[in-house]
A = this chain, B = another copy of it.
Amino acid sequence: MPDLANQPLGVFDSGVGGLTVLSALQRALPNESLLYLGDTARVPYGSKPLDMVRGFARQIGRELLRRRVKGIVVACNTASAASLPELADELPVPVWGVVDPGVEAALAATRNGHVGVLGTVGTIDARVYQTRLEAAGMTTWGKACPLFVPIVEEGISDSSIATLVAQHYLADRPAVDTVILGCTHYPALRGTLQAVLGADVTLVDSAASTAAVVARDLRRTGLAAPAAAEGSVRHLVTGDVATYLHTARVLGGPLGPAEHVVLDALEPAPG
């Protein structure tokens, strides 16, 4: 399918957090045209009901399809938790989330079978990581950490505040030997979390694992861009474009042309 292979790969997130996944995709798939949609008008997703987030994901999926993407990466843990596997069933292109690759990496890393998951309220309450890990025989411990995203965005990931907040969230943890960073912002807190958890605990960041799975699947199905293609990145933003580009630059996300996008309203009864 040479035609499809040349189409862009869609990626979306509630805002800028998914840029960590976009970076990993760019490294794993340097020839792809990547089309990233950041829903900054409605960020954050993590504190909103999953039903609502599912509606957002469906709306964004349709927008990306309209722009002829050959596949969609849900680069947001909350949206992955809320919308998969339903979104993959509804859309005529492959859809990847960040949860399954994170689970796989944790299963490969744990030695004692006790795995912790840190994430937003939405991700933790939905138990998406926990359910999958437990199905594989693991014992799990999930903890919602609402203060972590604003700490990262404040640029104080390595402060005494970050340490005290990490101690607060991790105080009642059992003897986990592996902890999944179940939110795309959390890798910025890796140093602080590793110091609080101790060097024996493995931290799993799903961005790189997700990119590896997407690259493998695209190549296996003949959908990968040809090696001669020049890779590119474009951004669609539901909120203010200048603010978005500023934050993307601070976070070191892959930059490129960015434009504002207005999403069509969904009909009341989705189908």
A51–B239 CA distance with the chains assembled, in angstroms: 10
Contact of A161 among B43, B52, B156, B168 (CB under 8 A): B168
- Which secondary structure dominates chain A's binding surface? loop
- Chain B residues, Cβ within 8 Å of A161: 147, 161, 164-165, 168
Contact of A42 among B41, B49, B160, B243 (CB under 8 A): B41
Given A42-B42, A160-B164, A161-B164, answer yes or no on A48-B150 (Cβ-Cβ < 8 Å).
no
Interface string of A138-175 (1 = CB under 8 A from B): 00000000110011011010011100110010000000
* Closest Cβ neighbor of A240 among chain B residues: B49
Nearest Cβ on chain B to A121's Cβ, whole angstroms: 10
User: Is A199 part of the contact surface with B, judged by Cβ < 8 Å?
Assistant: no
Q: How many copies does the complex hold?
A: 2
Number of interface residues of A (CB under 8 A): 28
Nearest Cβ on chain B to A165's Cβ, whole angstroms: 6
User: Is A265 part of the contact surface with B, judged by Cβ < 8 Å?
Assistant: yes
- Chain B residues, Cβ within 8 Å of A146: 150, 153-154
Given A161-B161, A265-B265, answer yes or no on A239-B49 (Cβ-Cβ < 8 Å).
yes
Contact B240 A52 (CB under 8 A): yes
Interface string of A117-155 (1 = CB under 8 A from B): 000000000000000000000000000001100110110
A interface vs B, CB < 8 Å?
40-43, 47-49, 51-52, 146-147, 150-151, 153-154, 156, 159-161, 164-165, 168, 239-240, 243, 262, 265, 268
Provide 26 A-B residue pairs closer than 8 Å at the C-beta atoms, listed in order of the A residue.
A40-B48, A41-B48, A41-B52, A42-B42, A43-B47, A48-B239, A48-B240, A49-B239, A49-B243, A52-B239, A52-B240, A146-B150, A146-B153, A146-B154, A147-B147, A147-B151, A147-B154, A147-B161, A150-B150, A156-B168, A160-B164, A161-B161, A161-B165, A161-B168, A164-B164, A265-B265
The 4 closest A-B pairs by CB, nearest first: A49-B240, A146-B150, A147-B150, A49-B243
